[in-house]
Structure 1
Amino acid sequence: MTTIEKISQSLKKTKKQFHTINKAAVLIPIISIKNQLHLLFQVRSKKLKWQPGDICFPGGRVEVTDDSPEYTAKRETFEELGIPIDQITILGQLPKFIASLGMIIYPFVAKIESLDNLLLNQDEVESVFTVPLEWFINHQPKQANMLVGFKPDDNFPFELVPNRTANWQQKSQHDVHFYQYDNFVIWGLTAQIINSFISTIKSNTQL
């Protein structure tokens, strides 16, 4: 028999899972090169099944053992690029993003001290490169639209849902940003995060 006590125990067991499910964090690494601030990017390994060869910031899913999304961003940066956590100085956090598949993304801006001792995880990262921050300040991203559609499968019970037919589908539109720097194309969520970051510093400082 289901009781209030059993319900309470079940919810306690899943509390930690709900805290981490569908959450991820990324780090926006800033480094000074010849007295000029640069953003550090990584090119995803072609071995990966998800978005191989794309350009992104270090980051990944929030794990149950992570104290916070901020720690996730630091941990993933260490695991992917070999930058020690104690050499990552968090400068602040941008507003969270909700990706097209419902993943909540927490972006953190951080200062890193050096690129001298990078140790790339070859299973995840093919290479890294930097782009001057001023370049993003002076260049607006190109924009396009992405349509995301939902349509019922063959086993959808139309008889239970009034006013719906087999041709029923839903669509939503999302803005997609693109930055082209030399031979690199930075797009999608990474470009959206950059655009948010640049807009934030432009609105709060005299650049």
Structure 2
Amino acid sequence: MDDLIRDPLPHLTGALARPGQGSSDFDLNPEFRLKEPRKLRPAGVLVTVSLIGAAPRVILTKRSSALKNHPGQIAFPGGKTEESDADAVATALREAEEEIGLPRDLPRVLGTLPPHETVTGFQVTPVLAVLEQGFDPVADPNEVAEVFDVPLAHLMQPSNYLLESRIWRGLRRHYLTVPYGPYYIWGATARMLRELAARMQA
């Protein structure tokens, strides 16, 4: 873990190079499936590792409680792909600029991780990037209630992840959480982070 804090880049690029399939909100709930045929909408999120400061940190947001999808949840900056976006990378960079004021040319994109399928019908591509220059976050109040960051070391430690459950649509649904201070990180965000952690540990 000390090596990860000292120099995370080899670990991040190594995680991208490892083979593997994508993840899903259904991984922990194989008995639960929505009716087919199911058309997934493409989306991209920016997994930004800030290299500024004593230890690398991951930038996250708390979504506005007024949003239709995943209100009030902890999430990466990102959203659905628009026709004007060339690919998932373009989507993630555009959304990060719109949601938290991160200039599109500031993050250094390392690559993309396998997509994650959400229960709400999105196929989300995590775009892994590092930030080597500071910026002043400006949250779009229509979408983001708060911008904050979490130590990468905390998120890459498998023992920090908990398996919890709740009743959803009449069925018990299991999901991962990775709490940090006052922030309850769970669902798709926690699942994508856990996948990255697994790749970093491999």
Give TM class, smaller chain.
Answer: 0.7 to 0.9
> Per-residue displacement from partner, 1:9-57 (whole Å, max 9, x unpaired)?
xxxxxxxxxxx96111111011024231100111112332333221100
Structure 1 residue identity aligned to 2:162: K
Q: Residues 21 and 62 of structure 1 are in contact (CA less than 8 Å); yes or no, is this contact kept in structure 2? A: no
> Per-residue displacement from partner, 1:75-96 (whole Å, max 9, x unpaired)?
1011111111110211121111
Residues 102 and 135 of structure 1, relative CA distance in 2, 3 Å threshold: same
Q: How many residues align?
A: 163
Q: What is the match of residue 124 of structure 1? A: 143
> Per-residue displacement from partner, 1:139-184 (whole Å, max 9, x unpaired)?
431113567769xxxxxxxxxxxxxxxxxxxx7x864101111111
Q: Residues 25 and 105 of structure 1 are in contact (CA less than 8 Å); yes or no, is this contact kept in structure 2? A: yes
Q: What is the match of residue 103 of structure 1? A: 122
SS at match of 2:108: strand
Listed as ranges, the gaps of 5+ residues in structure 2 are 1-38
Matches within 5 A, 1:1-207: 22-138=41-157, 139-145=159-165, 175-203=174-202
Structure 1 residue identity aligned to 2:201: K
Residues 101 and 42 of structure 1, relative CA distance in 2, 3 Å threshold: closer
Give the Cα–Cα distance (whole angstroms) in 1 for the partners of residues 137 and 167 of structure 2.
Answer: 38
How big is the shift at 1:98?
1.2
Q: Of the two structures, which has the highest relative contact order with CA contacts closer than 8 Å and spacing of 6 or more?
A: 2
SS at match of 1:181: coil
Structure 2 residue identity aligned to 1:183: P
Give the Cα–Cα distance (whole angstroms) in 1 for the partners of residues 196 and 166 of structure 2.
Answer: 22
Give the Cα–Cα distance (whole angstroms) in 1 for the partners of residues 201 and 175 of structure 2.
Answer: 21
Structure 1 residue identity aligned to 2:43: A
Give the Cα–Cα distance (whole angstroms) in 1 for the partners of residues 74 and 87 of structure 2.
Answer: 25
Listed as ranges, the gaps of 5+ residues in structure 1 are 1-19, 151-170
